[in-house]
Amino acid sequence: MSIDTSTGSAMPNSVAGEAVAELDGIRMSFGGNVVLDDVRLPVHPGFTGLIGPNGAGKTTCLNVISGYLRPDQGDVRIGGRSVVGRSAHQIAKLGVSRTFQTPRLIPDLSAVENVMVGAGRHFRGGHLAELFGLPTARHDERRLRGLARELLTTFGLGEHPERAASQFPIGSQKIIEVARGLLNEPRLLLLDEPAAGLGAEDVDRLVTGLTSWATGRDAAVLIIEHDLELITRLCPNVAVLHFGRIIQSGAPRDVLRDPVVVEAYLGADFATGD
């Protein structure tokens, strides 16, 4: 897989083939129902897509990588180290950020403050009281507010940073959540259907913002998404999950033409919402 960098800067940590994160032989079941079966998925610097029909096990993959679920079998490696058995909190501290299928913003806080919440692991305890209260945190608060505003601008939402999150349309709320996931300079960003429910304009904001953020960085972004055009625009590599197994991976234009993949989508009740 080639990593697209528009700058010519050396990327000493992204030796070809070195994965930022890796699922290796993952098996996961819920009460005897096998949901992931021998899943192998390397996530390299740049964008990786994870697609597949509803119920295929995509969100479960994210939950396993981020420590929300412990797999029955197999290894999860981040930066080459096994993290199976670590808590979601411990894994987040390794530089892993995620978003959820439905945005989890704090409705009464402003857009910029919601992004600042993403600083959790840079604060002792990571509580909002510390973020906004203690004198020792004031310098950090100013710095973070600046970073959060920059991120909102990167995603085309810099105009009303002080507006309450609940006042933004749902599409913008989802983008604010993505921006929050970036505040900590994650090494690995996990996005669960970030474009679901977004209009074309918001999809463009998302793609432009993510591309601009990733340029010149060494981070890896794993995106679950039904919007195959978005996947094709962003991801040099995509893996297809079907009934808990990776059935194909490679460049989107090849993968999406593969008869096995087409069959998997047509055979399932594939509700894309678009």
Ligand X SMILES: Nc1ncnc2c1ncn2[C@@H]1O[C@H](COP(=O)(O)OP(=O)(O)O)[C@@H](O)[C@H]1O
Question: Which residues of the chain form contacts with Mg ion (CB under 5 A)?
Answer: 58-59
Burial class (CB in 10 A: 0-12, 13-18, 19+), 21: buried
Q: Which of 19, 56, 179, 256 is the binder for ligand X (CB under 6 A)?
A: 56
Shortest CB 96 distance to Mg ion, Å:
18
The count of chain residues that interact with ligand X, using the rule CB under 6 A, is: 10
How far apart are alpha carbons 176 and 132 in whole angstroms?
A: 19
Q: Is position 272 an interface residue for ligand X (rule: CB under 6 A)?
A: no
Shortest CB 244 distance to ligand X, Å:
7
Burial class (CB in 10 A: 0-12, 13-18, 19+), 60: buried
Instruction: Look at residue 114 and give the partner it binds from ligand X, Mg ion, none, a contact being a CB closer than 5 to 8 Å depending on partner kind.
Output: none
Task: Report the Cα 13 to chain-centroid distance in Å.
Answer: 20
Q: Is position 30 an interface residue for ligand X (rule: CB under 6 A)?
A: yes
How far apart are alpha carbons 270 and 264 in whole angstroms?
A: 9
DSSP symbols for 153-199 = HHTT--S-TTSBGGGS-HHHHHHHHHHHHHTT--SEEEEESTTTT--
Burial class (CB in 10 A: 0-12, 13-18, 19+), 239: buried
Query: Which residue number, 59 or 248, has a Cβ lying nearer to Mg ion?
Result: 59
Cα–Cα nearest to 178, from 196, 190, 161: 190
Q: Is position 58 an interface residue for ligand X (rule: CB under 6 A)?
A: yes
Stretch binding ligand X (CB under 6 A), from 48-56, 82-90, 114-122, 170-178: 48-56
Shortest CB 264 distance to ligand X, Å:
12
Nearest residue by C-beta to Mg ion?
A: 59
What part of residues 104-143 is at the interface with ligand X (CB under 6 A)? none
DSSP 3-state assignment of 57?
Answer: coil
Stretch binding ligand X (CB under 6 A), from 49-57, 78-86, 113-121, 167-175: 49-57
Query: Which residue number, 87 or 102, has a Cβ lying nearer to Mg ion?
Result: 102
| Residues at the contact surface with ligand X, assessed by CB under 6 A | 30, 35, 52, 54-60
